[in-house]
Amino acid sequence: MFYQGILLFCSLLLLGFAQAQDDIPRVQVADPYLEMQTGAGSGYPVYHVVERGEWVQILKRKTEWFKVRTERGKEGWVRREQMARTLTPAGAPLQIHDVAEGDFARRRWEMGISSGDFSGATIISAWTDYSFTHNLSLELSASHILGSYSSSIMGNVSLLAHPFPEWRFSPYFALGTGVIQTTPKTALVQTRDRMNNTSHVGLGLRVYLTKRFIMRFDYKNLVIFSSQNENQEISVWQIGFSAFY
Amino acid sequence: MANWFFSILLKSTFLLLTLVSGLVWSSVVVDASEETLTEEKPVIEPEVYRREIDESKIDSENFEATVFAGLMSVEDFGVNNIIGARLAFHVSEGFFFEAGVGQTTTTKTSYERLSGSVELLTNEQRRLSYYNLSVGYNLLPGEAFLTRKLAFNTAFYLIGGIGSTTFAGDDRYTINYGFGYRFLATDWLAVHADVRNHVFDMELLGEKRSTNNIEMSLGLSIFF
């Protein structure tokens, strides 16, 4: 019974493997030869070459490297530039999209982290941004503010306007609201946590770096609506990095 | 007699003609149907798997999830076991972003042990936890040769970043930096050895000062 189970499992595995084999995309080498390296990095040695006209299967991808298998079963890593010069079964060049500056203006989702100054305290933020149009986007952000006397958690929703989305140095304006929860440090006299609403106006600059990456400079004028007589007004400066899709 | 003979000849000729014409007709029909068939299916197929390749269908393994365990030396509070997890996104063959969390429970300071009854921290405050966001760079990618025929890909990397450490009741802004070694057992499974310094300010024992808290860990990661 046990062995039958193993046999059944193995045959199922083989069946699954055989089916998976059919789905593996194949490309034909069009260059004089295709270089296969031992690892997914430019320093790894070339240990096998595939000649023009031969077919290879594309198994997987790591960053800009593709793992391929030859008809004789040899496996190795090929750089993106070489893969882009192979042919699909239809005879067309393999389409591998190289993210360029043009994609920056057409981005939908952006995710990033930033850090900076929150009127003397240090702020760490993570945000995600969704573009409705080329000029308008909605941003959600979460921040951790670490000060000498207290630490705070802040959540914000902002509407961003990008007047020049196609520029490499693209400025933006922000308007938003949020909440902030402040916990005083234990070294001080014990006071209880405070939860306050906030609103902010801001401006900033996105700089397209390379591939999918953006650098961002951000300034916010934040108003914390406190239960005391005076509202707190705070300048928040941040610098961050993000990736877009 | 002649009439009878002629009628037989006429009938047989007619029959023959019908037969021949029938045969010819049927052969024409067969030919025509064969022609329509051959029009639908060419005799020589140029390629059976005629299709385009969708780039997004190629399985990409740029994320790496790690669990790790090791030792963390927390200044004045002993060397203690630490466990944690990390999630990395590999951007290029060189750079990767990493988010990490870790937790340890610190032990008493020498001062507390010697004095006997003094307790600087409550049990809750002795627990140290941190999170960080870091950037890493694979400085020395390479291969490790276990036997003559068995080689594994490896990388020595530098890493640094920012984050927060919750310890002794407060959140503390923390800078971390260090180095690590990644040993790829397969394309998707790796073993890590890491050394990381976590620098944060402490004001518990009087004046505020910067502390260095070194962590050594071994991790297991999968790429997906």
Distance from CA of B44 to the nearest CA of A (A): 15
Q: Looking at the structure, tell me whether residues A107 and A218 fall in a common domain.
A: yes
pLDDT of residue A21 exceeding 80, the answer is: no
State residue B47's pLDDT score: 53
Q: Looking at the structure, tell me whether residues A72 and A115 fall in a common domain.
A: no
Q: Which amino acid is at A197?
A: N
pLDDT in tens, B141-189: 999 999 998 999 999 999 999 999 999 888 999 999 999 999 999 999 9
pLDDT of residue A200 exceeding 60, the answer is: yes
Beta bridge partners of A210: none
pLDDT of residue A215 exceeding 50, the answer is: yes
Q: Looking at the structure, tell me whether residues A61 and A109 fall in a common domain.
A: no
- A34-43, B110-119, B195-204: least confidently modelled range: B110-119
Distance from CA of B62 to the nearest CA of A (A): 6
pLDDT band of A18, cuts 50, 70, 90: very low
Chain A residues inside the 8 Å CB shell of B57: 25
d(CA A60, CA B223): 11
Q: Structure tokens of B144?
A: 């490790």
Distance from CA of B18 to the nearest CA of A (A): 51
State residue B34's pLDDT score: 46
State residue A229's pLDDT score: 72
The answer to whether position A88 is within a domain reads no
**Selected residue with higher pLDDT from B27 and A51:** A51
Q: Any residues with CB less than 8 A from the CB of A23 and at least 6 apart, and which?
A: none
Q: Looking at the structure, tell me whether residues A113 and A229 fall in a common domain.
A: yes
Chain B residues inside the 8 Å CB shell of A65: 93
Tell me how many degrees the CA angle A108-A109-A115 measures, rounded to the nearest 5.
140
Mean pLDDT over the full length of chain B: 83
DSSP 8-state secondary structure symbol assigned to residue B74:
-
Residues A113/A128, Cβ–Cβ less than 8 Å: no
Mean pLDDT over the full length of chain A: 86
pLDDT of residue A228 exceeding 90, the answer is: no
The answer to whether position A97 is within a domain reads no
State residue A187's pLDDT score: 60
The answer to whether position A32 is within a domain reads yes
The answer to whether position A152 is within a domain reads yes
d(CA B171, CA A92): 57
Facing A97 at nearest CB: one of B55, B153, B204: B55
Residues A86/A66, Cβ–Cβ less than 8 Å: no
Chain A residues inside the 8 Å CB shell of B133: 113, 124, 126
pLDDT of residue B81 exceeding 60, the answer is: yes
Do B169 and A186 make contact, defined as CB atoms within 8 angstroms? Answer: yes
State residue A121's pLDDT score: 92
State residue B36's pLDDT score: 46
Q: Looking at the structure, tell me whether residues A112 and A14 fall in a common domain.
A: no
State residue A103's pLDDT score: 84
Q: Looking at the structure, tell me whether residues A17 and A125 fall in a common domain.
A: no
State residue B10's pLDDT score: 54
The answer to whether position A21 is within a domain reads yes
User: What range does the domain containing A201 cover?
Assistant: 103-244
The answer to whether position A40 is within a domain reads yes
CATH code of the domain containing A139: 2.40.160.20
State residue B51's pLDDT score: 67
pLDDT band of B129, cuts 50, 70, 90: very high
d(CA A42, CA B120): 53
pLDDT in tens, A147-185: 888 899 999 999 999 999 889 999 999 999 999 999 887
Closest by alpha carbon to A212, among A106, A139, A126?
A106
Closest by alpha carbon to B135, among B85, B166, B94, B188?
B94
Distance from CA of A1 to the nearest CA of B (A): 33
Residue B124 forms contact with A (CB below 8 Å): no
Q: Looking at the structure, tell me whether residues A70 and A185 fall in a common domain.
A: no
The answer to whether position A203 is within a domain reads yes
Facing B59 at nearest CB: one of A60, A90, A115: A60
Chain B residues inside the 8 Å CB shell of A243: 91
Q: Structure tokens of A23?
A: 């789905």
Which of A48, A83, A118 marks a domain boundary?
A83
pLDDT in tens, A40-69: 999 899 989 999 999 999 999 998 899 999
Q: Looking at the structure, tell me whether residues A70 and A146 fall in a common domain.
A: no
CATH code of the domain containing A34: 2.30.30.40
Classified as helix, coil or strand, B67 is strand
Chain A interface, Cβ < 8 Å to B: 25-27, 38-44, 58-67, 88-92, 94-97, 113, 115, 122, 124, 126, 144, 146, 151, 183, 185-187, 211-213, 243
Beta bridge partners of B190: B184, B221
Q: Stretch A111-140: mean pLDDT, rounded? A: 93
d(CA A218, CA A202): 7
Q: Stretch A220-236: mean pLDDT, rounded? A: 87
State residue A5's pLDDT score: 52
Question: Given phi > 0 = left and psi -120 to 50 = alpha, else beta, which region is A227?
Answer: alpha
Residue B205 forms contact with A (CB below 8 Å): no
**Selected residue with higher pLDDT from A199 and A23:** A199
The answer to whether position A98 is within a domain reads no
Q: Identify the helix (H) or strand (E) that includes residue B11.
A: helix B2-40
Q: Looking at the structure, tell me whether residues A79 and A118 fall in a common domain.
A: no
The total domain count for chain A is 2
Q: Residue ranges of the alpha helices (H) in B41-157? A: 110-115, 123-126
Q: Looking at the structure, tell me whether residues A60 and A134 fall in a common domain.
A: no
Which of A18, A52, A83 marks a domain boundary?
A83
Q: Looking at the structure, tell me whether residues A220 and A108 fall in a common domain.
A: yes
Q: Looking at the structure, tell me whether residues A116 and A64 fall in a common domain.
A: no
pTM of the model as a whole:
0.77
d(CA B160, CA A122): 17
Which of A55, A83, A111 marks a domain boundary?
A83
State residue A51's pLDDT score: 92
**Judging by DSSP bridges, how do beta strands A75-79 and A26-28 pair with one another?**
unpaired
Do A43 and B151 make contact, defined as CB atoms within 8 angstroms? Answer: no
Could you count the other beta carbons within 10 Å of the beta carbon of residue A201?
Answer: 14
pLDDT band of B21, cuts 50, 70, 90: low
- Dihedral sign computed on CA atoms, order B67, B69, B75, B78: positive
Tell me how many degrees the CA angle B95-B100-B217 measures, rounded to the nearest 5.
95
pLDDT of residue B112 exceeding 80, the answer is: yes
Closest by alpha carbon to B214, among B78, B66, B65?
B78
